[in-house]
């Protein structure tokens, strides 16, 4: 059943869109990753223009993360103080990212930069996950690598404006979470991802936040950062397709429920290798698209 | 010199004004389009279109559907090391947004080159009309790429054997063209022209207009996103949040319902006398944590 996406200006099969969301949601539920970093390239592959895919993906993340935040809030896994600092950083980064996209669109290279950023990030994340999972398999089990949770980074401890975060049980200069989250905010705007796959490891390994608080607080800041990015993309670039975002969100929510149920019966390290392989395959597909000679040497410029 | 009577002079002038300049005969029956207006709704994916008309016996037909000329901006790709990047921008104007040409025999066999040029029929004529800015671009590459792009989108098509001729009647020979209107064709007023051809020239032409309009929810949403971007963005955020919280509410209710169903005592537990032998020994199902849920810390 075809459906006309008014902002994207393309007609795509309704079930293909829900299916794409469901596949990513399934992996998300199965493996505990956000999935936004997979959804944008998949949308691009099924014919959604890259700028619309990235912006609408951000919008769909609002739906999926608000559902997660509600659940984590009930369990007390959200640190509002740390979340607010992260949110400020995220919004600052997002504002920078949206302006970067605006400039690149005017120059005609926005779609290209999004593709290259994806190739780089998916390549790095995929390789890291693959190697780590392989090591885990060889060891026989997954071992948490939070080796020295109480050890403070000397550089961070010397920074000014130290702040206590009682819910997380940590103390940091306010600049540390702010800057880290600004970088993730730029990625959110450029790639249309929630940034959880970068932010959670950063919070656990660099900020020493407990894992469950890191996940809940990250979702909290993702929700508001994505809300900010959606608003900015709508006003600045007119690339948010609400219909596309909702269809994808419906698929990913259903997929996540199924994935979470199946995930209980499967081994984590094997699943991680599967995810890493998918990530690397998507990266290779995107790399081929920018290396191989295009069938047509001109493409519509959406910078005007 | 013999003087021409005034009434005769008036009649001669009128006759001269009514005679087509190109030697065409007056058009026959008007073109019939089914439908006359194409509506782009929520489930729009192009739609079947039928064009019908009538010509005199022995004539051939060329039907051309043409969109308005538009100026479009494109990125021109070029190699930078191993990868292809957008190197510069090109403005292309003077080419129609859509060009569909249906004919029976090859165009050059049906019409002479001068006639094709005069009526602007065929890709070669589009090539000639196209204006490219900045002019220093490789014009042939840009022109060829433009046609390739439009052909990929199905908005430029040149279809031989695209016209079906019917059985001759006293009124003439009916013909029809049936095709799927390309979904990528933007909303606009399109011109449909049918050329009656004989002896490599056009003897008459009939014209009709086809409208493609956005309707319903998609039209409203596209307009809202463009004209009220801030409100649209706010709406996108609120709708997505409500959807998320709604899903959470639904999921938690279903979960609670599922737990309650599992925790409901079985008839065997409620009526021990009805239980089969051996039942009720050891740990009952209801005492175990529900499958898949971890016990509370």
CA distance A111 to chain B (A): 9
Q: Cβ separation of A67 and B251 shorter than 8 Å?
A: yes
Which chain B residues touch A112 with a CB distance below 8 Å?
Answer: 85-86
Q: Does A286 touch chain B (CB under 8 A)?
A: no
* Domain coordinates in residue numbering, chain B: 22-214, 228-265
Which chain A residues touch B78 with a CB distance below 8 Å?
Answer: 297
Q: Residue B117's CB: how many other CB atoms inside 10 A?
A: 14
Which chain A residues touch B184 with a CB distance below 8 Å?
Answer: 10
Mean pLDDT (chain A) is 80
- For B146-188, the pLDDT digits (tens) are 999 899 888 999 998 889 999 888 888 999 999 999 988 888 9
Which chain B residues touch A103 with a CB distance below 8 Å?
Answer: none
Q: Could you tell me how far CA B216 lies from the centroid of its own chain?
A: 17
> How high is the pLDDT of residue B261?
64
d(CA B271, CA B187): 71
Best A298, A299, A300 residue to mutate vs chain B (most B CBs within 10 Å): A298
Segment A210-216 shows an average pLDDT of 81
- Find the distance separating the first CA and the last CA of chain A, reported in whole Å: 32
Q: Does A106 touch chain B (CB under 8 A)?
A: no
Nearest to B243 by CA among A190, A258, A21, A191: A21
Best A1, A4, A56, A194 residue to mutate vs chain B (most B CBs within 10 Å): A4
Which chain A residues touch B233 with a CB distance below 8 Å?
Answer: 230-235, 240
> How high is the pLDDT of residue B193?
94
Which chain A residues touch B292 with a CB distance below 8 Å?
Answer: 261, 264
Say yes or no to pLDDT of B10 above 80. Answer: no
Residues B194 and B80 sit within 8 Å (Cβ to Cβ): no
Segment B184-200 shows an average pLDDT of 91
CA distance B143 to chain A (A): 10
Ordered DSSP codes for B73-137: EEEEEEEETTEEEEEEEEEEEEEES-EEEEESS-HHHHS-HHHHHHHT-SHHHHHHH-EEESTTS
Secondary structure of residue B149 in the 3-state scheme: helix
Instruction: Establish, for the pair of chains A and B, how many residue pairs have beta carbons separated by less than 8 Å.
Output: 172
Say yes or no to pLDDT of A149 above 60. Answer: no
- For A219-278, the pLDDT digits (tens) are 888 888 889 889 988 998 888 999 999 999 888 888 877 877 776 676 666 777 777 787
Q: Residue A278's CB: how many other CB atoms inside 10 A?
A: 17
pLDDT bracket for residue B289 (50, 70, 90): very low
Q: Does A4 touch chain B (CB under 8 A)?
A: yes
């Amino acid at each position: 059943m075809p459906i006309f996406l008014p902002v994207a200006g393309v007609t795509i099969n309704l079930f293909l869109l829900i299916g794409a969301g469901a596949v990513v949601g399934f992996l998300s539920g199965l493996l505990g990753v956000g999935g936004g970093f997979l959804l944008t390239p998949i949308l691009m592959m099924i014919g959604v223009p890259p700028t619309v895919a990235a912006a609408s993906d951000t919008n769909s993340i609002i739906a999926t993360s608000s559902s997660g935040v509600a659940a984590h809030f009930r369990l007390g896994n959200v640190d509002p103080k740390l979340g607010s600092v992260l949110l400020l950083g995220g919004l600052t980064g997002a504002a920078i990212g949206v302006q970067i996209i605006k400039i690149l669109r005017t120059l005609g290279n926005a779609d290209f930069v999004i593709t290259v950023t994806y190739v780089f990030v998916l390549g790095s994340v995929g390789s890291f996950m693959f190697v780590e999972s392989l090591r885990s398999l060889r060891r026989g089990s997954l071992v948490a690598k939070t080796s020295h949770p109480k050890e403070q980074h000397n550089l961070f401890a010397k920074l000014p404006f130290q702040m206590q975060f009682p819910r997380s049980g940590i103390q940091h200069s306010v600049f540390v979470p702010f800057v880290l989250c600004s970088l993730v905010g730029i990625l959110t705007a450029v790639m249309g991802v929630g940034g959880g796959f970068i932010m959670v490891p950063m919070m656990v390994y660099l900020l020493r936040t407990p894992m469950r608080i890191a996940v809940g607080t990250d979702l909290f800041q993702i929700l508001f950062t994505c809300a900010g990015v959606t608003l900015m993309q709508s006003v600045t670039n007119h690339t948010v397709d609400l219909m596309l975002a909702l269809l994808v969100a419906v698929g990913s929510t259903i997929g996540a429920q199924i994935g979470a149920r199946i995930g209980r019966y499967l081994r984590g390290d094997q699943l991680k290798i599967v995810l890493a392989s998918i990530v690397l395959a998507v990266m290779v597909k995107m790399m081929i698209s920018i290396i191989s000679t295009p069938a047509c040497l001109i493409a519509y410029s959406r910078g005007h | 010199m013999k003087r021409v009577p005034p009434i005769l002079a008036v009649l001669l002038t009128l006759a001269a004004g009514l005679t087509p300049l190109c030697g065409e005969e007056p058009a026959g029956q008007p073109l019939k389009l089914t439908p006359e207006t194409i509506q782009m709704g929520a489930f729009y994916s192009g739609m079947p279109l039928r064009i019908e008309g009538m010509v005199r016996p022995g004539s051939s037909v060329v039907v051309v559907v043409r969109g308005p000329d538009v100026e479009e901006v494109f990125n021109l790709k070029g190699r930078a090391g191993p990868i292809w990047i957008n190197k510069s921008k090109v403005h292309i104007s003077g080419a129609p947004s859509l060009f569909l040409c249906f004919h029976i025999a090859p165009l050059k066999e049906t019409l002479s080159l001068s006639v094709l040029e005069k009526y602007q029929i065929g890709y070669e004529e589009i090539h000639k009309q196209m204006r490219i800015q900045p002019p220093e671009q490789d014009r042939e590459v840009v022109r060829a790429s433009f046609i390739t792009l439009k052909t990929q989108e199905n908005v430029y098509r040149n279809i031989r054997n695209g016209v079906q001729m019917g059985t001759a009647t006293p009124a003439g020979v009916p013909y029809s063209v049936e095709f799927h209107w390309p979904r990528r064709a933007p909303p606009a007023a399109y011109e449909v022209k049918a050329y009656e051809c004989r002896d490599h020239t056009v003897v008459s032409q009939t014209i009709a207009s086809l409208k493609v309009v956005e309707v319903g929810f998609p039209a409203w949403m596209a307009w809202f996103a463009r004209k009220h971007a801030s409100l649209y963005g706010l709406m996108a955020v609120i709708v997505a949040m409500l959807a998320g919280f709604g899903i959470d509410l639904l999921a938690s209710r279903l979960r609670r319902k599922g737990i309650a169903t599992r925790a409901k005592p079985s008839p065997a537990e409620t009526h021990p006398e009805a239980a089969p032998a051996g039942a009720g020994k050891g740990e009952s199902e209801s005492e175990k944590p529900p499958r898949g849920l971890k016990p509370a810390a």
